[in-house]
Amino acid sequence: MSESKAALQAFKSEVAAWMAENVPSDPGFLLPLTFLEVGTEQQLDFLREWQHKLWQAGFLGMHWPTEYGGQGADSAYQFIVDKELGRHRAPIIFNTIGLNWVGPLLLDMGTEAEKSKYIKNILSAEEIWCQGFSEPDHGSDLGAVQTRAVKEGDEYVVNGSKIWTTLGNYADHMILLARTNTKTERKYDGLSFFLSPMKVAGVEAHPIRKVTGEYGFNQTFFTDARIPASCLMGEEGGGWTVAMKTLEYERGVTAGQASAYWGVAVQVDDMIDELSAIEQDGEPLLSDPIVRDDLVGFMMEAKALSLSARRMAIPALGTDYPMGLALSVKYRGTEYERRMKHYTASKQGAQSALYVGDDDAVSGGFWQRAYFSNFGATIGGGTTQVQANIVAEHVLGLPK
Amino acid sequence: MSESKAALQAFKSEVAAWMAENVPSDPGFLLPLTFLEVGTEQQLDFLREWQHKLWQAGFLGMHWPTEYGGQGADSAYQFIVDKELGRHRAPIIFNTIGLNWVGPLLLDMGTEAEKSKYIKNILSAEEIWCQGFSEPDHGSDLGAVQTRAVKEGDEYVVNGSKIWTTLGNYADHMILLARTNTKTERKYDGLSFFLSPMKVAGVEAHPIRKVTGEYGFNQTFFTDARIPASCLMGEEGGGWTVAMKTLEYERGVTAGQASAYWGVAVQVDDMIDELSAIEQDGEPLLSDPIVRDDLVGFMMEAKALSLSARRMAIPALGTDYPMGLALSVKYRGTEYERRMKHYTASKQGAQSALYVGDDDAVSGGFWQRAYFSNFGATIGGGTTQVQANIVAEHVLGLPK
Amino acid sequence: MSVTPNVTMTFSEEQGMLLDVARGFVRDQAPMDVIRAQLETETGFDPALWQSMVDMGWAGIALPDSVGGAGMGVGSAVPVFESLGGGLLGTPLLSTTLAGQLIWRAAGEAAASWLTRLCSGEVGALALLDHADWGAANCGVSLGSDGCLNGRKCFVADAGVADVFVVVANDNGETILAIVEASSLSSDALSHNVVIDLTKRSANVDFTGVAPVEILRGDRVASALRDTLLLGALLTASETTGAAALCLSGITDYLKTRKQFGKLIGSYQALKHPTVDIYVGMENARSFIYHGASVVDDDPLSEDAETACRMAKVAADEVMVFAGDRSVQFHGGFGFTWDCDSTLFIRRAQWAQQMFGGAIHHRKRLAALLLDS
Amino acid sequence: MSVTPNVTMTFSEEQGMLLDVARGFVRDQAPMDVIRAQLETETGFDPALWQSMVDMGWAGIALPDSVGGAGMGVGSAVPVFESLGGGLLGTPLLSTTLAGQLIWRAAGEAAASWLTRLCSGEVGALALLDHADWGAANCGVSLGSDGCLNGRKCFVADAGVADVFVVVANDNGETILAIVEASSLSSDALSHNVVIDLTKRSANVDFTGVAPVEILRGDRVASALRDTLLLGALLTASETTGAAALCLSGITDYLKTRKQFGKLIGSYQALKHPTVDIYVGMENARSFIYHGASVVDDDPLSEDAETACRMAKVAADEVMVFAGDRSVQFHGGFGFTWDCDSTLFIRRAQWAQQMFGGAIHHRKRLAALLLDS
């Protein structure tokens, strides 16, 4: 279902015009850099309203079915919207776990009832989703999940604790991976997947403060929390498969996401713009040959990432390692951003040591905060070290 | 037994004067960069004569007992000799396995008979030693040694194969690690250590060509080779301990070596001298700020290594990780040299692509050859990766 | 051109005792919960703790006994700052020490009254920068014909608690040092910085209309200023090296106890080997600071001393940035939280790497020192 | 200033076929034992193999059909050189292709007779350098009033087998291209280089007293020369990328089969993760060469094309140097032997990284291109 260039171009103009009118201006308080950092009610209300507005204008879920609140168009349209959001430096579209993982998952594997019940409210931001996979003692090792869900009549009784539940204190629903059977031969076969309500007795989300000083994460405690048995997605004991499918969405291997505009995007051009105003030894920093050489390195990395995305569309140019480019995106992209943000934060002379809140800080401390915040990307969703293993094993066929 | 500064200074002058007279000039053929690369009879004869001459002059085995051909002085004297050898760009002292590992080992753990029989001939270069630890399929994993030594009467019958036997084709003796018992509970307990003759029936050394195009290594084959039972050093089954002690000498953790001048030393100053003659874009290479910055990095590494050696002598300054500086020397030094030699070989414009034998090559292709040759140091005696494990486990206490 | 020959490293019994005392003090008096309690306070330190340090003679550790100092030489400050860094203990000692150095090197015993005050616990601060560029000439503050200063200084460390400021100023083209009493500042002279390192404090200070109590000028000012900046680099490097060592030990502790996929995470080479590189970098920085301590003295710093100070700063900055960054990463999800000390380490790294010029600043000058002679 | 916008990457069915054919040819005709048999021969390649390549039209792959070429555009040479590199197959195709480009870009169809000869299998060589510095003006060879050249060129690739030389020379300050027939060289004109990459050959060539058959001059010479050097960088990068991919597959094969301490060595992250970085670097280089192939054409190269060629060269050089180095290291003791192909890879890396300027050369120019506009 590819669209004519002309139609896409026209749509782009339409979106751009709408955004020029409707993108909210600076609200006067700090907005989160990513959906992982929504830490105050003020931020939440603002972002909820903004997402709702975008959806009402017909610019969210562009390729999701109309019967569930989408626009029934090609995914190219969503891509255009996301790009324009970036170009207009719009606030982020924050209901990311719903938009990027839960929505595509339900559209792919959900029942009609599940789709009808949940998808529209994801788009409209009426219902917020969070994810309950990781646990305090297991981090990246999902197979070891300990949170118990025991069936009693038409309910499951849940006990245990999840960690890093982004938006958990605000969320209406959680995609929950819990152990329904402790006696299976393979530990994976004891896991089940739930579309679990958050606003029930026995569920408490405790905010966790981050390295940036901000909030957004929670530790979620389940204490004899009773959830309807109908929350089970798929079969009991079939949770591992659903969770792995979810991770594919999280890792961007599979398409279908409603908006990938979940964080403030930073481009190499922004970096150069920022540094072009800085002086070193009384001269423009950008006249220093070493800095220039470093910037060439960053520009090449940025270009290589763009070219790689382009190349993925030409299968004949990736025959040796068919899934390689896609599987290495997170490994490359998140580390590149870490280095680039750190570099920009560190080349500001004495201003490098200022932080958000100081009037003299370069761009309000944006780069320092962005560097700190970026660890969410190199740690969450499988650390860089785990990503390297994934590429080594799944692309190069190296042993575990 | 520390010596007065004046005595050491006088000795230094004496050595320097002798060397000014006696260090041989360029023989007109390529000399090996290290003792690992003695590949022709011509090189062997030349180096044997040179070592003999140095010993006869009283400048080798400075701190070894006089009854075994040494000079009975402090090790500081040997250090001075080695340093002067470098300063005079003398040919290497090649009988390294004897001088650095076997000699100290025998002096430490050998019987009187063993000391009398072997040590003097190591110093005089009358007898050459090689080492038979590694085997083709096991590389760094010495515990897995398969070469069999079976006692029959007053002989052991040896079968198997050793690899990377430096000087093996010229050697008179080998320190041999072989399995005398295949049924021990711990695989280490089946190993024995021999001072084994090379010039007996059933021992054949086949030269292996190196990455540099030169020779020096061998694969040594034992086929029903019969060696006297008296060659056993220590107890049968006690070979692992002796081998580990030998490795300590090899890794430079323990002192006692008769001459550490086993390879052509390269200093950061040599690197800078070499590069100062090179042009880039019509300007001196050393005027390029990026190159200058790279060189600062190398100079700092060189200085840090020197300072670290100095610091080892002041225990109070290394209390947190007592053996750390010593145990990390190989890890740091060999990798530093690899990078430094590669850098110098690669900053010569089109001449970077020339090799030994080309009249137009920078310093006769020295840096290219030195870079290639340096892999002997980052691979042999425990690869860099193994060295990192050693530091991690033995210095930082990290798990295996 | 040659860089390696000078590997002087002296270490007296006296210095050994000082190192032990300083480490013990920090370990006992400033465990991490004490540090954390000060992170979001106004001054960032406990006055009682500061007084203990003064009582031990640390405020004058780098000054001669003729002016009330400890008389151990400026190099003796190195183990003290290394120890303070090893506990992330933020106090105004660095500012006070450097204010003392600047005055001493510019005026000697003629300025004994100021130095005695500093040795006895009054806090000194250096007002150096007109803007963020450590490499630029910073003499925008001028002395007017009315005997008052005119202009603002930026990022003045410990300005909020300083009793005495040494202000680098400009008197008709001549660089002078103006000594200003905090009491003479107007009530709105200070605007506090939001410093990324929560153990540190600084402020922009407006000196307009303030009359200095004393002006130091003459031949020695330029060299005193240059040497104080170099000593600032060395002492910051010392503090940073201590912090890097603490960071390393936090990482190794975690790697030895945390399991993932059924194994201690320290057994994964992807974590294990970079930790070795932090270790090596930390030891290098330590070698450089001890070498620096051995080649600086009260005379104008030699080329070898300059080299040592700059190398120490580069080595310490580089390892701290790497260690802090890896500390967050290797602690995984926990590393990303406020409760993990990793956040203190990356913040320290970010602060330290600019103080008295960053790696790029010093490497450029080292290139000139070592390659152009 | 912006660098990312142009991500053009075109790939026609025709190019896809060419890639398949070229890879198949190298796989079938030039397995490693064939390559190794030529390492220490005089010319470094088998004439029959060269003839097969000529028969497939590769000698004129980058030239228009009006002069006997394949008419697929110069970008079509990229997959061919990538494939040749993927077998370490050394032939004079690079020299011949670039000689063709230089003549074509400087003189167009007016030089059809030369171009036709090159397309039909005569070997062309570029005589560019007066000395080792790729960044210097190289016009030391001059044209005398007697119509003869005077001077020597260095490192002329494939000089030993060349039929036709294109010599960059200087005629009273004007840069000209002198076309010289090999037959007109004196018998001792060539002194062969000892090239570190044993699949490559070059020589210093003395042109003194040689009368060129034709002189190309005029407006187009400077731009033709500049573009040919850029295309040289792009095609060398293509060849290098192929070699890096081969090197990577050698490493992964070894890591999958070799055991140490009872485990496949590929399970050690100290080997596994750097191998991932080689993979990523190789894919980046591949993206750059395909992008380069999509933005170069017969016109003078655009800024985007220049950027693409330079980035391709930097990316390919950097990954090849890293891959070759790690290949030796990761093969352990075997890697240190002549029998292991790692020696061919570090030698190729060493050769490739200087050809048409190394990473430092191109990065400097990229900085000017991308930051100074």
Radius of gyration of chain A measured on its C-alpha atoms? 22
- D255-278 pLDDT per residue, tens: 999 998 889 999 999 999 999 999
D268 in reach of chain C (CB within 8 A): yes
Neighbours of C, requiring at least 3 CB pairs below 8 Å, are A, B, D
pLDDT over 60 (residue D64)? yes
* A168 touches A233 (CB < 8 A): no
Question: Considering the domain boundaries, does residue A213 fall inside one?
Answer: yes
pLDDT in tens, C310-330: 999 999 999 999 999 999 999
Q: Is residue A155 located within the same domain as residue A231?
A: yes
- The whole-chain average pLDDT of chain D stands at 95
Q: Check whether residue A24 and residue A66 sit in a common domain.
A: yes
* Together in a domain, A278 and A244: no
Conformation bin of residue D172: beta by default, left when phi > 0, alpha when psi is -120 to 50? left
The count of CB pairs under 8 A between chains A and B is 8
- Find the CATH number of the domain harbouring B243: 2.40.110.10
CB-CB under 8 Å, A293 with B290: yes
What's the mean pLDDT when you consider all of chain A? 93
Structure confidence at residue D1 (pLDDT): 42
D chain contacts of residue C270, beta-carbon cutoff 8 Å? 269, 273
Q: How distant is the Cα of D197 from the closest Cα of chain A, in angstroms?
A: 26
For the entire predicted model, the pTM comes to: 0.94
CB contact under 8 A, C371 and B396: no
pLDDT computed for residue A1 by the predictor: 41
Element (H, E) at A131: strand A129-132
Claim to verify: residue A69 and residue A182 sit in the same structural domain: no
User: Are B205 and B309 in the same domain?
Assistant: no
Q: Are residues A174 and A223 in the same domain?
A: yes
Spell out the domain ranges in chain D.
222-370
DSSP lists the bridge partners of residue D204 as: D191
pLDDT tens for each residue of C256-300:
999 988 899 999 999 999 999 999 999 999 999 999 999 999 999
Query: What would the pLDDT profile of A270-299 be if each residue is shown by its tens digit?
Result: 999 999 999 999 999 999 999 999 999 999
B200 Ramachandran zone, left/alpha/beta (phi>0; psi -120 to 50):
beta
Assess C269–D contact: CB distance below 8 Å, yes or no: yes
Same domain, yes or no, for A47 and A140? no
Give the count of beta carbons closer than 10 Å to the beta carbon of residue A331: 25
> What is the rounded average pLDDT of the residues B98-118?
95
- Residue finishing a domain among B188, B223, B250: B250
Last residue in a domain, options B200, B218, B250: B250
For D219-246, what is the mean pLDDT? 97
- Do A277 and A241 share a structural domain? no
Confidence category of residue B371, pLDDT binned at 50, 70, 90 = very high
Pairwise pLDDT comparison (B143 vs B181), residue with the higher score: B181
A367 touches chain C (CB under 8 A): no
**Does D294 touch chain A if contact means CB atoms closer than 8 Å?**
no
Contact list, C268 vs chain D (CB under 8 Å): 269
Here the CATH number for the domain that contains residue B367 is: 1.20.140.10
In a domain, B262, yes or no: no
Question: A333 in a domain, yes or no?
Answer: yes
Q: Which of A37, A291, A346 to mutate to test the interface with C (most CBs of C within 10 A)?
A: A346
A289 interfacial to chain B (CB closer than 8 Å)? yes
Which residue of chain A is at minimal alpha-carbon distance from B290? Answer: A290
Can you give the pLDDT at residue D139?
85
Percent of chain B residues topping a pLDDT of 90: 85
Helical spans, DSSP H, in D6-92: 13-29, 32-37, 47-55, 77-85
Cα–Cα separations (whole angstroms), residue B206 to B41, B69, B132: 15, 32, 13
B1 pLDDT tier (thresholds 50, 70, 90): very low
Q: Are A371 and A363 in contact (CB under 8 A)?
A: no
pLDDT attached to residue B3? 59
The residue that leads in pLDDT, A3 or D267, is: D267
Query: Considering only the top CATH level, what class is D222-370?
Result: mainly alpha
Min Cα separation D330/chain C (Å): 15
Number of domains comprising chain B: 3
> What is the pLDDT, as a whole number, of residue C360?
95
Whether the CB of C166 is below 8 Å from some CB of chain A: the reply is no
Contact call for A293 and B288, based on CB within 8 A: no
Question: Which of B100, B128, B156 is at the close of a domain?
Answer: B128
Instruction: Let me know: does B108 contact B141? Beta carbons within 8 Å.
Output: no
Give, in order, the Cα–Cα distances in Å from C279 to each of A120, B369, C267, C289, D64. 53, 31, 16, 15, 60
> Would you place residue D2 in the very low, low, confident or very high pLDDT band (cuts 50, 70, 90)?
low
**Region D267-295: what's the mean pLDDT?**
97
Which chains does chain D touch, 3 or more C-beta pairs < 8 A?
A, B, C
User: Which of A180-192 are b and which e, b meaning 16 or more Cβ less than 10 Å from the residue's Cβ?
Assistant: beeeeeeebebbb
Q: Quick one: A79 and A183 in the same domain?
A: no
The two beta strands, B283-284 and B279-280, are antiparallel
Is residue D267 less than 8 Å (CB to CB) from chain C? no
Report yes or no on A71 lying in a domain: yes
Q: Is A283 on the interface with B (CB under 8 A)?
A: no
Q: Under DSSP, is residue B119 helix (H, G, I), strand (E, B) or coil? A: helix
Can you say whether the dihedral through the CA atoms of A351, A355, A358, A362 is positive or negative? positive
Model confidence at A251: pLDDT above 90: no
B290 reaches A (C-beta below 8 A)? yes
- Assess contact for C310 and C227: CB atoms under 8 A: no
**A281 vs B: CB within 8 A:** no
Domain that includes residue B18, residue range? 5-128
Is B354 within 8 Å of D193 when comparing Cβ atoms? yes
pLDDT tens digits for range B27-79: 999 999 999 999 999 999 999 999 999 999 999 999 999 999 999 999 889 99
Beta carbons within 10 angstroms of residue A23's beta carbon = 17
Report pLDDT for D250: 98
Would residue A92 count as lying in a domain? yes
Q: Which residues of A261-283 are buried (b: 16+ CB within 10 A; e: fewer)?
A: bbbbbbebebbbebbeebbbbee
CB contacts under 8 A, D 308-337 vs B, are: 321, 325, 328-329, 332-333, 335-337
Q: What angle in degrees, to the nearest 10, is found between the helix axes of B329-346 and B268-276?
A: 10
DSSP D190: E
Which member of C343, C360, C361 has the closest CB to residue A211? Answer: C343
Q: Could you report the per-residue pLDDT of C149-199, keeping only the tens digit for each?
A: 999 999 999 999 999 999 999 999 999 999 999 999 999 999 999 999 999
- The pLDDT, as a whole number, for residue B254 is 63
For D192, the enclosing helix (H) or strand (E) is strand D190-192
Whether residue A170 sits in one domain with residue A246: yes
* Same domain assignment for residues A273 and A390: yes
**What Cα–Cα distance (Å) separates residue C341 from each residue in A39, A136, C34, D145, D157?**
21, 18, 13, 78, 59
B119 and B134 together in one domain: no
Q: What is the tens place of the pLDDT at every residue in C353-365?
A: 999 999 999 999 9
Say if A256 falls within a structural domain.
no
D155-182 tens-digit pLDDT: 999 999 999 999 999 999 999 999 999 9
